[in-house]
Amino acid sequence: MSFKTETHIEKVLRPWLTLVLAAAIATISGCSAARQAAAPPPVQQFGHVILVVEENHSYPDVIGNSAMPYLNSLASTYGLATQYYANVHPSISNYFMLTTGQFISLDNAYGGTVNADNIVRELTAAGKTWKCYAESLPQPGYLGGDAYPYLKHHNPFAYFSDVTQQPAQTANLVPFTQFAADLKAGQLPNFSFVVPNVLDDGHDGSLSSADTWLQQNVGPVISSSVFQNDGLLIITFDEGDLGDVEHGGGHVATVVVSPKAKKNDKSNALHQHQSTLRLILRSLGISQLPGAAATASDMNEFFQ
CA 196, 200, 202, 203 dihedral sign is positive
Residue 41: the pLDDT is: 64
* Interval 126-146 mean pLDDT: 98
CA 195, 198, 203, 205 dihedral sign is negative
Say if residue 10 is in the same domain as residue 81.
no
Q: Domains in the chain: how many in total?
A: 2
Say if residue 4 is in the same domain as residue 108.
no
Neighbours of 146 (CB within 10 A): 13
* Predicted confidence (pLDDT) per residue in 185-202, tens digit: 999 999 999 999 999 999
Say if residue 6 is in the same domain as residue 119.
no
Check which CATH number belongs to the domain holding 251 and give it.
3.40.720.10
Say if residue 26 is in the same domain as residue 88.
no
Say if residue 65 is in the same domain as residue 9.
no
Q: To the nearest 5 percent, what fractions of the chain are helix, strand and coil?
A: 45, 15, 40
pLDDT above 80 for 137: yes
Say if residue 298 is in the same domain as residue 180.
yes
Say if residue 22 is in the same domain as residue 54.
no
Say if residue 7 is in the same domain as residue 101.
no
Say if residue 28 is in the same domain as residue 122.
no
Say if residue 29 is in the same domain as residue 90.
no
Provide the residue range defining the domain that includes 14. Answer: 1-39
* Predicted confidence (pLDDT) per residue in 6-62, tens digit: 444 344 333 333 333 333 333 333 333 333 334 566 789 999 999 999 999 999 999
Say if residue 154 is in the same domain as residue 291.
yes
Residue 43: the pLDDT is: 83
Say if residue 155 is in the same domain as residue 189.
yes
Alpha carbon 78 to its chain's center: 17
